[in-house]
Amino acid sequence: MAKVNKWVAGLVLAAMGAAAPAQAGCWTARETGAAQVRDMQTMLMVAALRCRAAHIDISADYDGFVIAQKDAIAAANFVIKQHFAAAGGNQTDYDRFATSLANVFGDDATTEATCAEAAALAHEGSAAAPAQLEQVAESRVFPASLPGGACAAPATPVVMAAAMPAKEEALPPVVALAAPPPVQQPVTLPADVVAALTVLAHYKAAEAAPAAASVTQTALATSTH
């Protein structure tokens, strides 16, 4: 639905004066939600007055909303009053703030369409659970003009996770290898020793030859007898 502009009767303005509401610092998220509910209720009230002046009666729709959500509206007003009281304000500061909400709702033309939209919003607000009324108000009405503005959201600290130590991988067991058998290196004799052994071999071969011949002759002689 189109956002409905705010309006308030001139007699209320004259009674309240043009003074700005007390500056009570920034508004918390809870206080901002309460102001949004109060803003929606004010918008529907002004729409009902404006439509009735145009001979379009939506008073029953508005009254039904106020009756259905009286506890939520009262709780929102209490939170707003606490906001001003925290800065030393009083009922007058609250009334000025409520009037400032209504002051901005009077510029749009009043037609059957805008009155029907206001009546539909009143029905939607009546059917909403009290805990969901803030969401309905936020989605269907412009955010309320808050003196001091909304408080900035606190920065979320960034927590760095401690680095996990690297997991040490188990080393495979050391297997003892058997020592290889010793390699026998060939013995190299000196040249003079090799020559002496060669001479000795020839000498022994010469000695063995006559002895073999003698044995052969003896064997032959024996065989002839």
Domain ranges of the chain: 10-140, 189-225
Which residue, 21, 55, 25, is CA-closest to 38?
21
Rounded average pLDDT over 18-43: 80
Q: What is the mean pLDDT of residues 131-155?
A: 83
Handedness of CA 71, 74, 80, 81 (dihedral sign): negative
**Binning pLDDT at 50, 70 and 90, where does residue 102 land?**
confident
Residue 141: the pLDDT is: 77
Contact by Cβ (8 Å): 36, 137: yes
CA distances from 132 to 33, 125, 136, 139, 197 (A): 11, 9, 7, 11, 122
Residue 121, SS3 per DSSP: helix
Phi, psi of 179 (to 5 degrees): -70, 135
Higher pLDDT, 13 or 52: 52
Q: How far lies 59's CA from each of 63, 65, 124, 161, in Å?
A: 6, 10, 15, 59
Backbone angles phi, psi at 134, to 5 degrees: -60, -40
Cα–Cα distance for residue pair 121/141, rounded to 1 Å: 10
The DSSP annotation for 50-107 comes to HHHHTT---HHHHHHHHHHTHHHHHHHHHHHHHHHHTTT--HHHHHHHHHHHHHTB--
DSSP class of residue 206 equals: H
Q: What is the average per-residue pLDDT within 54-79?
A: 96
Better pLDDT: 106 or 157: 106
DSSP class of 132: G
Distance, CA of 17 to CA of 138 (rounded, Å): 28
> Would you place residue 42 in the very low, low, confident or very high pLDDT band (cuts 50, 70, 90)?
very high
- Kindly report each contact of residues 210-213 with a partner whose C-beta sits within 8 Å and lies 24 or more positions away, as own/partner: none
Q: How far apart are the first and last CA of the chain?
A: 157
pLDDT of 132 > 60? The answer is yes
pLDDT of 82: 93
More confident position, 171 or 18 = 171
Q: 213: helix, coil or strand?
A: helix
pLDDT value, residue 34: 94
Which pTM value belongs to this model? 0.58
| pLDDT mean across residues, the chain | 74
Give the residue from 77, 106, 87, 83 showing the smallest Cα distance to 13: 106
